[in-house]
């Protein structure tokens, strides 16, 4: 196993279809019009020396190493900036060019340290390679001239260092920050010989606008910007392509290794979701996998107040199976269930639901999508016929208008956020619907045309008002509707939406958004011509989550923005494999591929394949399981890679349910908050330690590859398999590929998927079957999956969560760039430096009336509970709305959130909680009690383990 | 009314409200379909028992949907 | 009595305002009816402040004028100590072929009626009666080439922009006159600003551009004021129709005179050279098709349109048609602007027109075409002033500057200065210019110090090759001209004191 080396073509590919034929060093080559001479040369294997050119960036033409001669043209043009022309005759090598290149290289080396042997880039340095390529043998200027060799290093970023002494001022880092990431944190300061790379105005990297995405480090051809891990460990010796285990973008990375140690994760250019870009989490925050907190031995205990006892795998599995069987014997087969993980692989998720349906004999399986995108599944399933986003990420490149609702891509889905910003810089128009002034509203060279800063909980009213304008102003695409949708349903919906109570003027008071803004946004969206909707949890996590998804689908259908590139309805999925976990049948009412358990034909497929009879009735959802536990009819739970005690709302209710159970089994990397209430702990494995697949938000199935052996001894699928066997099931997969074969065999939309195919294609977007052997980047092209698109009336119903004298403010929750979900991973990395605690964002006026100053401790209280955290006074909040994140268990933001949920799916209403904010004297009683219990519950009885 | 019954009534009413703009019979049918598709057996059993005990607080649409449903509740 | 006192910045620097004040005061005291006209400069700078009085025979001049010379103006004019006779007959002016600069100094630069009376707007009116294609063809036929230095045919550039399709196109005037010893742009902007406005309006009509920018230096405050006022007056008078014109100030970077760096600067970015292609004619200001021309190219256009292409093309030699405003500066007796048809020799310009050095010592070197132009030796004074003839001697016409040095000049220091200038003005984008200019300065220092002179001269020669063929723009690309011409034409100056001592 060696290193994967990607070819750098120097410049980006041309999208043109017309071919141009030219001659390079006597060889004929045909390339698309607009291709650079450099790229054309690389395509036929001719390497023209280069330093400032790289195919991730626009050509720049500054290093002057790639000069060539073109017959009939004066001078020596740079091959990176010169496009090919028909009949062009190019010479890339001759005595004159060799002398010129050597002359340039001689200048470079006259201001560069001569420490190649001890340099961290030794063996992976383009400057070194080019000095060799041009045959530099001597630097006649000597080394005593002006230079930058004493420039001080900047080690402020926890993951990489900046050593300006080694900088060749190629601007690749600056350009990457601008073109790829879109942050514009870096610049070239000064001019001439004094030109130097500078974060912001001569700031340290950590103090600058830098978001630590790593694009600059990736772009740097020398050791100037270098991962600290490489400086410590040396250059990697082999690599494998795998998929990031953070958000739903699903970035491809090369895991670059020394033996079983990760040297670094490098974004993979051929990754179809990220095209070589990354964010601070995926690129750098993988250290949790080796963190000292990681538990590697199974543990059991009789009571949750007991210390843990380490046991063998055999004992842990046998104990678990015995307990589950006992509970089923005593309380019926429906008294146990399980939760699949949206962070585990498709194969692992599939196996857990199979264990529950076939082994436990019930459908009590659910997943964390319950608390995030279950309304997406419901809403898009009902209207379009499939429970997933309609587009691939690349589609955004063709969008003219982008409508972002309740999503914060630059924090939550940063790599796609950068992609979106790039398109916006190219001129696409932006509409943001969000109570907060998220970064996208105004960021370098991007400004939203409309920001509808609505009051939390009024999504349906706003989306319906947009539709009202479209219908009443004659902006609907009737041709599309007649051809693709059910006209009678449309007519009925249009009659509903035309009503004056849906007009922008009527909802302005309710939503807090001026009518003119709503009208402007509606007209812009309708004008397109390509308008795309991207939405997130700000849409789904409401009592009307499903209704909003339906209203959004109506909007897209009414304007004909479905079924081609540049348009669509796109949920930005939260976790790496939340799409996959839903696809794999993690919901209590459906089998893999979103087929209801009551469907006899579908059940027959599984009954035949699994050799058992299956229940035709839906099982319990997570909140229902906890209700049933409190009620005594549900007593055992198998939780794989999910921390409901921190992530789910109304923590007191969750804890109450967990405490009521007799056997809670937690399978995780760490003793998470749920494990505080567990009786069995099965140590899990990280994404670096197993084979499998993840499916991202664009339905793209990508490989996860094992680069090290599991620290805990087994991959998660093996643990589930052991448990299944102990429960009496016959299960003997030798490799996850066999599980995927079973999925393909039993699920029509996955029929064409196999590890072999993924090996060959890199990735594939479902549906992938006989009808779509190469997968489906864009859905609903000629017809909707359900046949005709279905307009559904979604009326605004106010949430029952209301502000009043006791709780006058509305709390909404979200996430931040550096942290991920409950923080179990990111809190165990240096990312903690960016966001060491959850803070409460509050509008200056709301702070002022409460006498609260920036940075002070405040008590945040709702009818569910109260907690203490620090205030951050900021006008990005709307008046009357406060905001926090839920990354830290110390804060426990979910103590505050309520048990209200979406009417159709029980997705919790995280985004609207009536609260009060006041001065605080310290942690609340709940926080103190909880910390005390955590401490007790995490004790491990070391002696017993011997 | 126990906490569990409280929750079930709340949830059933919420579903009923989502269809409130439909003609009455259609709203009842849609609510019944939804309950059949997503509610687990013990939840249904429990709320039906609650209806038999008076069913206070349960709106008309979900009440009728549940009663309609009882006829073909699997054993 | 009509008295003219220039308000050109050269005249102002020499006290023209105080003179004007003194004239007013004196006239009032004497109860004389004096009309004071603040005209532009004629460009005869060694005579500034050049005061003129209208007489029956024509305008007579007095200069260089001081306030002390005021009272004598009210006596016998011919007896005035600064009396120069008829201005038109001053040989320096009389020998010129003023087409572009014909109106300079004649009237108040902001007097629209005077401008019109002197033939202004005839070109624009003609252009309005022509199709855009016809205008481009006319300019092409005139043989007008870029007066900024590159000498690219203006008509071809316009035609490219005209045929490009875009919803917005721009005309950009490069008035970032940074070459040492040049002042033609400033003179036209201060003495005849409507001429530039008219030229740009014609360009706008020729290519279908509705917006124009004049990018000039913050060091030209009077020019900026004059141009802005002229634009305002012309627009108010409805002469520009839908063409909108604005003046933008640079921040003093020499490289912003390079057209693509200028465009970046105009867009509000750091002024850094763009790689070409794409050419600005297709992807220019804000990525739209853009005519970017030197001030003098644009100012030449009204005459060409008014008098016809053949009339303009009748001047000049070879492929250099029309006239060039040669700017005589440095150590020269008669410093000023001399507009002449191409073809006059360098020697005539320096000796006959310029009158030799002002120090009175023999001329030793002339730097033609700005700080990046070649140093000519006296032995090359037979070179005709012509793009191709200069190029054949590794020289540049450039923006028309000629800077004269007498025999006390140390050419090694001048070569060093060229490298230092490049280092100082380098934007830092391309490697040869960014590092090479500094290494060049250091290496010439070694030569001056007598350190391994031959080896270092060879190294400088190699470096100049790298700069010439490797640089991204003309800053690095032309720096070798002064350096190598100094080394080639004045080899005796490249022997450091140590070497000289050793040789003795």
Confidence of residue C232 (pLDDT cuts 50, 70, 90): very high
Is the pLDDT reported for residue C499 higher than 80? Answer: no
**Residue A922 confidence (pLDDT):** 79
User: Distance (Å, rounded) from C-alpha A739 to C-alpha A732?
Assistant: 10
How distant, in Å, are the alpha carbons of A410, C195, C322, C342 from that of C144?
53, 16, 7, 12
Q: HSE of C306 in the Cβ direction (CA atoms, 13 Å)? A: 18
Query: Is A628–B17 a contact, with Cβ atoms under 8 angstroms apart?
Result: no
Sheet-wide strand order for A261-267: A238-243, A252-258, A261-267
Q: What is the dihedral of CA C84, C88, C93, C95, to 10 degrees?
A: -120
**Across the strands, what pairs with A747?**
none
The answer to whether residue B27 is domain-embedded is yes
Domain C316-406 part of CATH 3.10.20.600: yes
Percent of chain A with pLDDT over 70: 99
Q: How far is A857 from chain B (nearest CA, A)?
A: 34
Q: What's the average model confidence in pLDDT over C39-64?
A: 95
Q: Please state the separation of Cα A62 from the chain's center in Å.
A: 35
User: Distance (Å, rounded) from C-alpha A518 to C-alpha A531?
Assistant: 16
Query: Is B11–A906 a contact, with Cβ atoms under 8 angstroms apart?
Result: yes
Query: Is B4–A906 a contact, with Cβ atoms under 8 angstroms apart?
Result: no
Alpha-carbon torsion C222, C223, C226, C232, what sign?
Answer: negative
Average pLDDT over all residues of chain C: 93
Q: Which two tokens stand for residue C10?
A: 């050269």
The answer to whether residue B57 is domain-embedded is yes
Is the pLDDT reported for residue A702 higher than 50? Answer: yes
**Residue C117 confidence (pLDDT):** 96
**Residue A652 confidence (pLDDT):** 83
Tens-digit pLDDT profile for residues A795-838: 898 888 888 899 999 998 888 888 888 888 888 898 889 888 89
Q: Given the DSSP bridges, would you call strands A27-32 and A19-24 parallel, antiparallel or unpaired?
A: antiparallel
Of A19-33, A38-52, B36-50, least confident by mean pLDDT is B36-50
For residue B73, the chain A residue with the least C-alpha distance is A617
Confidence of residue A944 (pLDDT cuts 50, 70, 90): very low
**Residue C277 confidence (pLDDT):** 83
Tens-digit pLDDT profile for residues C332-373: 999 999 999 999 999 999 999 999 999 999 999 999 999 999
Q: Which two tokens stand for residue C81?
A: 């100590």
In chain C, domain spans: 2-94, 113-313, 316-406, 411-503
Coil/strand/helix, residue A195? coil
Q: A886 versus A757: which is more confidently predicted?
A: A757
Is the pLDDT reported for residue C504 higher than 80? Answer: no
Is the pLDDT reported for residue A943 higher than 70? Answer: no
H-state helical runs in A736-811: 736-746, 755-761
H-state helical runs in A684-807: 716-726, 736-746, 755-761
| Residue whose structure tokens are 């970046």 | C264
Is residue A281 a contact partner of residue A818, using CB atoms and an 8 Å limit? yes
Average pLDDT over all residues of chain A: 93
User: Distance (Å, rounded) from C-alpha A805 to C-alpha A856?
Assistant: 23
- As for how many domains chain B has, the answer is 1
A62 touches chain C (CB under 8 A): yes
**Residue A372 confidence (pLDDT):** 83
Question: Within a 10 A sphere around the Cβ of C146, how many other Cβ atoms?
Answer: 20
Q: Any residues with CB less than 8 A from the CB of A505 and at least 6 apart, and which?
A: A515
| Best mutation target, A57, A107, A145, A196, to test chain C (most C CBs within 10 A) | A107
Determine phi and psi for A808, rounding to 5 degrees: -85, -10
**Residue A40 confidence (pLDDT):** 97
Is the pLDDT reported for residue C496 higher than 70? Answer: no
Tens-digit pLDDT profile for residues A625-651: 999 999 899 999 999 999 988 888 888
* Chains with at least 3 CB pairs less than 8 angstroms from chain B: A
Is residue C372 a contact partner of residue C481, using CB atoms and an 8 Å limit? yes
The answer to whether residue B4 is domain-embedded is no
Q: What's the average model confidence in pLDDT over C53-72?
A: 94
Task: Identify which of A605, A616, A602, A633 has the alpha carbon closest to the alpha carbon of residue A357.
Answer: A616
Q: A726 versus A799: which is more confidently predicted?
A: A726
User: Distance (Å, rounded) from C-alpha A812 to C-alpha C143?
Assistant: 70
User: Distance (Å, rounded) from C-alpha C41 to C-alpha C104?
Assistant: 6
Long-range residue pairs from B19-22, CB within 8 A, at least 24 positions apart, any chain:
B19/B61, B20/A795, B20/B61, B21/A496, B21/A793, B21/A795, B22/A793
**Structural domains of chain A, ranges and CATH numbers in brackets:** 19-133 (3.10.20.740), 160-290 (3.30.70.20), 301-372+578-748 (3.40.50.740), 379-571 (3.40.228.10), 809-936 (2.40.40.20)
Tens-digit pLDDT profile for residues A527-568: 989 999 999 999 999 889 999 999 999 999 999 999 999 999
How distant, in Å, are the alpha carbons of A391, A582, A781, C344 from that of A249?
13, 16, 23, 70
Query: Is C466–A107 a contact, with Cβ atoms under 8 angstroms apart?
Result: yes
Q: What's the average model confidence in pLDDT over C398-419?
A: 95
Is the pLDDT reported for residue B65 higher than 80? Answer: yes
Q: What's the average model confidence in pLDDT over C399-425?
A: 95
How distant, in Å, are the alpha carbons of A229, A464, A487, B21, C244 from that of A792?
54, 12, 12, 11, 52
CB pairs under 8 A between A and C: 107
Is the pLDDT reported for residue C502 higher than 70? Answer: no
Tens-digit pLDDT profile for residues A600-620: 999 999 999 999 999 999 999
The answer to whether residue B6 is domain-embedded is no
Coil/strand/helix, residue A450? strand
Cross-chain CB nearest to A627 (options B7, B18, B36): B7
**CB contact residues (below 8 A), chain A span 94-113, against chain C:** 96, 99-100, 103-104, 107-108, 110-111
CATH for C113-313 is 3.40.50.11540
The answer to whether residue B7 is domain-embedded is no
Is residue A502 a contact partner of residue A468, using CB atoms and an 8 Å limit? yes
Q: Which two tokens stand for residue A493?
A: 């919906």
**Residue C349 confidence (pLDDT):** 95
Tens-digit pLDDT profile for residues A442-477: 988 999 999 999 999 999 999 999 999 999 999 999
**Residue B2 confidence (pLDDT):** 63
**Residue A653 confidence (pLDDT):** 85
Q: Is A466 exposed, middle or buried (0-12, 13-18, 19+ CB in 10 A)?
A: buried
Query: Is B40–A624 a contact, with Cβ atoms under 8 angstroms apart?
Result: yes
Q: Which two tokens stand for residue A943?
A: 């002696």
How distant, in Å, are the alpha carbons of C3, C18, C200 from that of C66?
15, 8, 37
Tens-digit pLDDT profile for residues C125-153: 999 999 999 999 999 999 999 998 778 99
Tens-digit pLDDT profile for residues C289-332: 999 999 999 999 999 999 999 999 999 988 899 999 999 999 99
| Fold category of C411-503 in CATH | de novo design (two linked rop proteins) (1.20.1440)
Task: Look up the CATH architecture of domain C2-94.
Answer: 3-Layer(aba) Sandwich (3.40)
User: Distance (Å, rounded) from C-alpha A612 to C-alpha A589?
Assistant: 18
Task: Identify which of C1, C98, C84, C76 has the alpha carbon closest to the alpha carbon of residue C48.
Answer: C84
**Residue A924 confidence (pLDDT):** 83
A795 touches chain B (CB under 8 A): yes
Q: What's the average model confidence in pLDDT over A179-184?
A: 94
Q: How far is A52 from chain C (nearest CA, A)?
A: 10
Q: What's the average model confidence in pLDDT over A658-672?
A: 95
Which residues in chain A are closer than 8 Å to B36, comparing Cβ atoms?
Answer: 598
Q: Which two tokens stand for residue B12?
A: 């059933």
**Residue A898 confidence (pLDDT):** 84
Is the pLDDT reported for residue A893 higher than 80? Answer: no
Is the pLDDT reported for residue C503 higher than 60? Answer: no
Is the pLDDT reported for residue A428 higher than 50? Answer: yes
* Domain span at B48: 14-71
Q: What is the DSSP letter of A237?
A: S
Backbone Cα Rg of chain C: 23
Is the pLDDT reported for residue C477 higher than 60? Answer: yes
| Residue whose structure tokens are 């924090």 | A411
**Residue C501 confidence (pLDDT):** 52
Is the pLDDT reported for residue A945 higher than 50? Answer: no
A141 touches chain C (CB under 8 A): yes
**Residue B21 confidence (pLDDT):** 85
Question: Within a 10 A sphere around the Cβ of C500, how many other Cβ atoms?
Answer: 11
H/E element holding C35? strand C35-37
Cross-chain CB nearest to C430 (options A64, A99, A190): A64
A169 touches chain C (CB under 8 A): yes
């Amino acid at each position: 196993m060696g290193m994967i080396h990607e070819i750098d073509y120097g410049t980006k590919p041309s999208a043109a279809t017309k071919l141009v034929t030219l001659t390079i060093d006597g060889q004929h080559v045909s390339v698309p019009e607009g291709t650079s001479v450099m790229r054309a040369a690389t395509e036929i294997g001719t390497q023209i020396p280069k330093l400032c050119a790289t195919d991730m960036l626009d050509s720049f033409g500054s290093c002057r190493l790639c000069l060539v001669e073109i017959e009939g043209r004066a001078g020596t043009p740079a091959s990176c900036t010169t496009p090919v022309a028909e009949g062009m005759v190019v010479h890339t090598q001759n005595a004159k060019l060799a002398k010129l290149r050597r002359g340039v290289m001689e200048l470079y080396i006259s201001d560069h340290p001569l420490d190649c042997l001890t340099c961290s880039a030794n063996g992976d340095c383009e400057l070194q390679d080019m000095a060799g390529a041009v045959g530099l043998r001597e630097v006649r200027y000597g080394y005593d001239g002006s230079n930058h060799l004493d420039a001080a290093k900047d080690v402020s970023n926890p993951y990489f260092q900046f050593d300006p002494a080694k900088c060749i001022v190629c601007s690749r880092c600056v350009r990457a920050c601008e073109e790829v990431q879109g942050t514009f944190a870096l610049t070239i300061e000064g001019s001439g010989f004094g030109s130097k790379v500078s974060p912001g105005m001569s700031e340290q990297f950590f103090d600058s606008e830098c978001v630590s995405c790593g694009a600059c480090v990736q772009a740097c051809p020398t050791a100037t910007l270098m991962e600290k891990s490489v400086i410590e460990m040396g250059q990697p010796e082999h690599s494998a392509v795998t998929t990031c285990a953070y958000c739903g973008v699903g970035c491809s990375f090369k895991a670059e290794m020394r033996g079983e140690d990760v040297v670094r994760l490098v974004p993979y250019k051929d990754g179809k979701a990220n095209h070589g870009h990354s964010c601070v989490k995926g690129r750098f925050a993988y250290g949790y996998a080796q963190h000292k907190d990681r538990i590697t031995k199974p543990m059991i205990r009789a009571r949750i107040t007991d210390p843990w006892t380490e046991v063998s795998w055999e004992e842990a599995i046998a104990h678990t199976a015995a307990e589950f069987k006992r509970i089923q014997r005593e309380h019926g087969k429906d008294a146990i269930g399980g939760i699949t993980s949206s962070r585990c692989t498709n194969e692992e998720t599939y196996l857990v639901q199979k264990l529950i349906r076939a082994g436990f004999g019930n459908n009590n399986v659910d997943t964390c999508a319950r608390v995030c995108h279950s309304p997406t599944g419901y809403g898009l399933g009902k209207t379009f016929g499939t429970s997933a986003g309609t587009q691939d990420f690349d589609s955004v490149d063709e969008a003219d208008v982008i409508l972002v609702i309740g999503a914060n891509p630059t924090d939550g889905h940063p790599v796609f956020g950068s992609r979106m910003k790039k398109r916006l810089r190219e001129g696409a128009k932006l509409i943001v619907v969000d109570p907060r002034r998220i970064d996208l509203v105004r960021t370098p060279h991007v400004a939203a045309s409309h920001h509808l800063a609505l009051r939390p909980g009024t999504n349906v009213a706003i989306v319906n008002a947009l539709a009202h304008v479209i219908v009443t102003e004659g902006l609907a695409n009737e041709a599309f509707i007649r051809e693709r949708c059910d006209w009678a349903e449309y007519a009925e919906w249009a009659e509903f939406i035309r009503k004056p109570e849906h007009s922008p003027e009527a909802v302005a008071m309710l939503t807090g958004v001026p009518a003119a803004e709503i009208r402007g946004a509606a007209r812009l969206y309708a004008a397109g011509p390509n308008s795309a909707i991207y939405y997130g949890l700000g849409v789904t996590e409401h009592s009307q989550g499903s209704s909003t998804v339906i209203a959004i689908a109506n909007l897209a259908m009414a304007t004909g923005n479905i079924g081609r590139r540049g348009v669509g309805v796109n949920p930005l999925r939260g976790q790496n494999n939340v799409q996959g976990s839903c696809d794999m049948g993690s919901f209590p009412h459906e089998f893999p591929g979103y087929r209801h358990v009551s469907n006899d034909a579908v059940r027959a497929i599984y009954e035949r394949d699994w050799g058992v009879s299956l229940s035709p009735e839906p099982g319990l959802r997570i909140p229902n399981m906890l209700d049933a536990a409190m009620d005594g009819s549900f007593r055992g739970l198998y939780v794989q890679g999910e921390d409901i005690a921190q992530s789910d709302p109304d923590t007191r209710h969750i804890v109450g349910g967990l405490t009521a159970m007799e056997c809670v089994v937690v399978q995780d990397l760490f003793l998470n908050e749920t494990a505080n209430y567990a009786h069995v702990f099965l140590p899990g494995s990280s994404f670096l330690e197993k084979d499998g697949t993840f499916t991202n938000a664009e339905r793209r199935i990508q490989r996860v590859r094992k680069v090290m052996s599991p620290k805990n001894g087994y991959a998660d699928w093996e643990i589930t398999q052991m448990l299944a066997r102990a429960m009496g099931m016959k299960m003997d997969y030798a490799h996850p590929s066999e599980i995927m074969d079973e999925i393909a065999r039993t699920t029509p939309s996955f029929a064409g998927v196999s590890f072999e195919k993924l090996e060959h294609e890199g990735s594939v977007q479902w549906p992938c079957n006989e009808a779509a052997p190469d997968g489906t980047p864009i859905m609903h092209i000629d017809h909707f999956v359900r046949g005709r698109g279905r307009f559904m009336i979604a009326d605004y119903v106010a949430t029952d969560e209301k502000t009043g004298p006791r709780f006058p403010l509305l709390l909404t929750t979200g996430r931040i760039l550096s942290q991920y979900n409950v923080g179990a991973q990111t809190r165990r990395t240096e990312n903690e430096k960016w966001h060491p605690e959850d803070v409460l964002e509050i509008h200056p006026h709301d702070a002022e009336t409460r006498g609260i100053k920036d940075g002070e401790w405040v008590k945040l209280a709702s009818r569910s509970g109260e907690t203490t955290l620090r205030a951050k006074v900021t006008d990005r909040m709307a008046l009357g709305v406060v905001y926090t994140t839920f990354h830290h268990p110390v804060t426990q933001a979910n103590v505050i959130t309520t048990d209200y949920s979406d009417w159709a799916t029980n997705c919790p209403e995280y985004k609207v909680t009536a609260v009060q904010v006041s001065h605080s004297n310290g942690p609340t009683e709940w926080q103190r009690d909880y910390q005390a219990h955590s401490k007790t519950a995490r004790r491990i009885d070391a002696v017993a383990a011997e | 009314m126990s906490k569990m019954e409280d929750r079930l009534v709340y949830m059933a009413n919420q579903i009923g409200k989502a269809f409130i703009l439909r003609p009455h019979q259609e709203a009842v049918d849609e609510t019944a379909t939804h309950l059949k598709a997503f509610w687990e057996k013990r939840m249904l059993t429990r709320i039906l028992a609650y209806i038999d005990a008076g069913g206070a607080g349960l709106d008309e649409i979900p009440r009728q949907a549940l009663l309609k449903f009882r006829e073909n509740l699997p054993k | 009595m009509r008295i003219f006192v220039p308000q050109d910045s050269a005249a102002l620097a020499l006290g023209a305002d105080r003179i004007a004040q003194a004239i007013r005061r004196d006239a009032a005291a004497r109860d004389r009816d004096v009309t004071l006209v603040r005209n532009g400069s004629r460009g005869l700078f060694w005579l500034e402040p050049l005061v003129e009085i209208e007489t029956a025979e024509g305008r007579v001049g007095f200069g260089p004028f001081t306030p002390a010379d005021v009272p004598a103006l009210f006596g016998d004019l011919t007896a005035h100590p600064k009396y120069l006779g008829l201005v038109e007959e001053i040989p320096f002016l009389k020998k010129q072929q003023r087409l572009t600069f014909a109106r300079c100094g004649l009237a108040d630069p902001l007097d629209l009626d005077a401008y019109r009376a002197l033939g202004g707007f005839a070109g624009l009116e003609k252009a309005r009666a022509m199709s855009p294609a016809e205008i481009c063809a006319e300019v092409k036929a005139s043989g007008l080439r870029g007066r900024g230095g590159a000498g690219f045919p203006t008509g071809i550039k316009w035609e490219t922009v005209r045929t490009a399709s875009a919803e917005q196109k721009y005309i950009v005037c490069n008035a970032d006159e940074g070459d040492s010893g040049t002042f033609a742009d400033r003179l036209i902007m201060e003495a005849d600003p409507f001429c530039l406005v008219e030229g740009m309006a014609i360009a706008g009509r020729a290519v279908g551009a509705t917006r124009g920018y004049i990018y000039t230096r913050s060091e030209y405050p009077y020019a900026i004021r004059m141009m802005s006022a002229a634009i305002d007056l012309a627009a108010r008078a409805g002469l520009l129709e839908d063409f909108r014109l604005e003046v933008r100030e640079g921040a003093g970077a020499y490289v912003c005179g390079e057209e693509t760096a200028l465009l970046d600067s105009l867009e509000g970015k750091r002024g850094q050279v763009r790689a070409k292609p794409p050419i600005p004619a297709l992807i220019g200001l804000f990525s739209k098709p853009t005519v970017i021309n030197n001030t003098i190219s644009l100012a030449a256009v009204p005459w060409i349109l008014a008098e016809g292409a053949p009339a303009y093309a009748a001047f000049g030699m070879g492929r250099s048609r029309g006239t060039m405003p040669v700017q005589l500066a440095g150590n020269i007796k008669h410093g000023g602007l001399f507009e002449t048809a191409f073809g006059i020799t360098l020697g005539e310009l320096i000796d006959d027109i310029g009158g030799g050095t002002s120090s009175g010592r023999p001329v030793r070197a002339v730097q033609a075409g700005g700080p990046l132009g070649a140093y000519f030796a006296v032995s090359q004074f037979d070179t005709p002033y012509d793009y191709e003839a200069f190029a054949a001697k590794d020289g540049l016409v450039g923006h028309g500057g000629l800077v004269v040095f007498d025999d006390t000049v140390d050419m090694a220091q001048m070569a060093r200065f060229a490298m230092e200038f490049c280092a100082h003005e380098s934007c830092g984008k391309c490697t040869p210019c960014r590092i090479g200019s500094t290494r060049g300065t250091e290496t010439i220092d070694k030569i001056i110090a007598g350190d391994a002179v031959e080896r270092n001269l060879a190294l400088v020669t190699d470096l100049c090759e790298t700069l010439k063929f490797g640089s991204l723009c003309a800053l690095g690309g032309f720096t070798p001209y002064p350096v190598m011409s100094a080394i080639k034409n004045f080899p005796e100056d490249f022997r450091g004191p140590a070497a000289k001592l050793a040789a003795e």
